[in-house]
Amino acid sequence: MLMVERDLRIHVGSLGAVEFKKGYYIYVGSGQKNLEKRIQRHKRRIKKVKWHIDYLTTRSDVKVLKAAAYNLPKKYECIIADILRSMRFKPIRGFGSTDCRCISHLYEVDLDFDRIVDEVSDKIRAKPVELDS
């Protein structure tokens, strides 16, 4: 879960200028190898900008608050993104989904993170793995 501390307009690679309202967001990614290292990378501000999410996480007014991870095949990245869409969260169009047919892999959310994780877990019939991060 990310917290955007103020309204932002950020240039995000090929997406161009993207508006982010102050609030909370959930990003769905797939870190098939070295998952904990990937999450730690997302928490660092100083890094080479490689993915859409990096345009947010390098900002001082964006905080990475929590993460949940599942030991599932890569296809679940899109399944979980679709679940968030079906929960009526607002998609940031095209964000993190340039290599698939999803509307987005970043959603503005208004529910408690743990409740969202519980609902997603119920729908995919899996529990998050324990993370050291």
106-117 pLDDT per residue, tens: 999 998 999 999
61-87 pLDDT per residue, tens: 999 999 999 989 999 999 999 999 999
User: Mean pLDDT over residues 86-96, rounded?
Assistant: 97
What percentage of the chain exceeds 90 in pLDDT?
80
CA angle 88, 89, 95 (to 5 degrees): 130
Q: Which conformational region is residue 102 in: left (phi greater than 0), alpha (psi within -120 to 50 degrees), or beta?
A: beta
Cβ contact 58:46 at 8 Å: yes
Q: Structural domain boundaries of the chain?
A: 2-124
User: Mean pLDDT over residues 45-58, rounded?
Assistant: 95
The length of the chain in residues reads: 133
Q: How much is the pLDDT for 123? A: 97
Hey, is 82 helix, strand or coil?
helix
Which residues is 112 bridged to in the sheet? none
Residue of 86, 119, 92 lying closest to 104 (CA atoms):
92
pLDDT-derived band of residue 35, with 50, 70 and 90 as boundaries? confident
Q: How much is the pLDDT for 58? A: 97
